[in-house]
Structure 1
Amino acid sequence: MSSLSPQERLQRVLQKKTTDRPPVICPGGMMNAAIVDVMNQTGHTLPEGHHDAQKMAQIALDIHDYTGFENLGIPFCMTVEAEVLGADVDYGTLACEPKIARELFASADQVQFRDGAYRMGTGRTATVIQAAYHLHRARPDVPIVGNLTGPISTAASIIDPMNFFKELRKNKAQVHRVLDYVSRHLVEFAQELIDNGATVISIGDPTATGEILGPKCFEEFAVPYLNQVIDGIHAVGAPVIVHICGDMKAVRHLIPAIRSDAISTDAMVSLRRLKEDFPALTTMGNLSTYLLEFGSADQVARQAEQLVRDQVDIIAPACGLSTSTSIAKIQALTETVRGGARGWLA
């Protein structure tokens, strides 16, 4: 198994098969490594890369080549889905990711249901889909991770979020209609990505946390619609990673109900204990992005070694990697896993 390609290694882990060592990846989307250090060295930059498929693909290739992460991940933000559904977006700068500038609707009751919003040729979804195609042709042996913004986060990006949170309790029927609508579009987008070369889909839903929703709303609104999207992706044969932000204590017991192929967590969660509690889970994460930005390369390497010793299945940064993180710190992570993890199965 020492000759496994990055594609084969990640796929084997997601299929719960043995490997020579854990993959080390950074999916993209809310967990992307489009750092200023890489872009300054290559001259391939954002925000231009958010709008041009070839530039987006080139930046993904640059990240892979300079950092050592064993995947290609697109896009580099969490605004693509909401924009195509009507939100206004501030595209940011070289060092600042895009953000939602204005939600389109004041409440769930006002949402206008648009059919086919994710079809090829529509908005920035087309850019991301075309970038997946370019990447697949360029590096067929490297996994291409297509990223989705999860149903609740997308809904809270097209509806005023304060009103949306209130309506989770006061207008449940309409919120369910909106989340079903959003989820169907996410499935369509994901299936287009897969048809054009994406081999894994990663879902980040930072608004869908136990800290924000509480366990009852997480169970009623987060789990079913995450699973609706996951099932739609599984229907076309692709595996799914789901990232859960924040402290999971309030919703820990609900995590096995999410039908993804791997669960990624934030840095404060012990993946060793999570795996002890739920042995069937495939775990991913969760090296502190604060440590990656402000710690020493030796500290990063030691933390990476600990994650390997804890038998985390896929090694990755936790969410929110700063654009000011240095290439050297990231290489301390990737080189430790790639070169120093030979005793993983011993």
Structure 2
Amino acid sequence: MADMTLRQRFLDSLMGKDVDKVPACSVTQTGTVELMDATGVFWPDAHYDAEMMATLAIGGYEIAGLEAVRYPFDGTAVAQTLGCAIKEGTLDSQPSVLKGPCEIKEDALEYIIPDNFMESDRIVTILDATEIVREKVGDDVPVIAGMAGPAAIASFLLSAKNYLMWSITNPEIIERVVKIGVEVCTDYSNALFERGADVICMPDSEAGPDLLPPAIFESLFLPEYKKLCGNTSGPMILHMCGDATAILDPMANSGFEGLSIEEKVNLKYAKDVIGNRACLIGNVAPVDILLSSSPTEVKEQARACIENGVNILAPGCGLAPHTPTRNLKAMVSARDEYYG
């Protein structure tokens, strides 16, 4: 296994195969201000230009030593294309959704996906960035594309308040809009795979127990996730922010090859629950450790993650924009030192 490429190691880890050492990378947001300074590419421009997006994303691999290229840096592309108004973002803050197109029930029940979804500026930018990244890094580096998941899409379209309220009072609306999200994610994922992405990472915390009862995850999202994963043409990662402890078991049965969890979940317990049903990814604390602590403390937590059974060593959530590059390098170094 000594000659294993980064891409082979990552994909083998994701598929539950034996590897020489766990990959060390980020499956979530990788844009930082230090990497912007180093590459000469800055937010918010990098969200809307394919060449800039690719350059900044590759910086995480070439400069920080992360063993994958992950892009884009926010989750609003799908939302904007589906009709949401967004806030553009700044140098050190991501774009965000301001208002959805379905904030009354009638609109939610009549909403349809725009015919030109795949030709929209935001989507084309990310598809083009995929080709640029693949061409620049070649076949030996894993390429990870991110997108909002079906629950996030439903929350964007309906507004967070309606999403939570209607999940109780009008569950048929939530079910309808989640199915729309599944259709969007399926088509978009397959387009990304066709352009050269190796893996799709899908943050979908709006399906998690921090917002909705675990019973809704099992009754609504579990079958929809299975449908989504069954109709996509490559490996998928589900990223769940917050404390996902209560839904670890159904998450492992959802069809996603990888499960990315944050530090609120006890990693050893998660490994015991998930077993070999999915690849466990995480969960170095992005704020308390990677943003705020010393390289020595980063190494301590990274080593603990490996010892507790993580299959891919990664931040537990997206990187804070002011995360220092030295701490990203320390995470990778901790993995190298662990395997001696």
- Shorter-chain TM-score range: over 0.9
Deviates more, 1:263-272 or 1:167-176: 167-176
Worse-superposed segment, 301-310 or 71-80: 301-310
2-side partners of 1:164 and 1:152: how far apart? 9
- What residue ranges of structure 2 are gaps of 5+ in the alignment? none
Is 2:311 the partner of 1:307? no
* Identical-residue share of aligned pairs (%): 24
Residue number in structure 2 paired with 1:91:
88
SS of 1:213 mapped into structure 2: coil
Measure, in 2, the Cα distance between the counterparts of 1:180 and 1:12. 31
Question: In structure 1, how many angstroms separate the alpha carbons of the residues matched to 2:124 and 2:105?
Answer: 27
Match of 1:13 in 2: 13
Give the TM-score of the pair, scaled to structure 2.
0.94
Structure 1 window deviating more from structure 2 (106-115 vs 122-131): it is 106-115
Specify the SS of the correspondent of 1:156.
Answer: helix
State the match for 1:48 in structure 2.
Answer: 45
Contact 1:89 1:98 in 2 (8 A): yes
Kept in 2, the 8 Å contact 1:107–1:164? The answer is no
Which residue is 2:186 aligned to? 187
Helix, strand or coil at the partner of 2:101: coil
Q: How does 1:223-262 map to 2 (within 5 A)?
A: 223-233=222-232, 236=233, 238-262=234-258
* Number of the residue aligned with 1:80: 77
Q: Distance in 2 between matches of 1:160 and 1:85?
A: 13
Q: Distance in 1 between matches of 2:246 and 2:272?
A: 18
3-state DSSP of counterpart to 2:86: strand
How far the C-alpha of 1:35 sits from its partner, in A, is 0.4
Using the TM superposition, name which of 13-22 and 305-314 deviates more: 305-314
Q: Matches of residues 66-215 of structure 1 in structure 2 within 5 Å? A: 66-111=63-108, 112-119=111-118, 121-140=119-138, 141-215=140-214
Q: How many residues align?
A: 335
Root-mean-square deviation (CA), in Å? Answer: 1.5
SS of the equivalent of 1:242 reads strand
Residue 329 in structure 1 maps to residue 336 in structure 2: no
Dislocated runs of 4+, deviation >3 Å: 115-118
Q: Is the 8 A contact 1:68 1:335 kept in 2?
A: no
Question: How does the TM-score come out when normalised to structure 1?
Answer: 0.93
| 8 Å Cα contact 2:150/2:180 also seen in 1 | no
Match of 2:279 among 259, 282, 285: 282
Aligned counterparts of 2:42 and 2:181: Cα–Cα separation in 1: 30
Q: State how far apart, in whole Å, the 2-side matches of 1:116 and 1:232 are.
A: 20
SS of the counterpart of 1:211? coil
Equivalent-residue separation in structure 2 for 1:154 and 1:221 (angstroms): 15
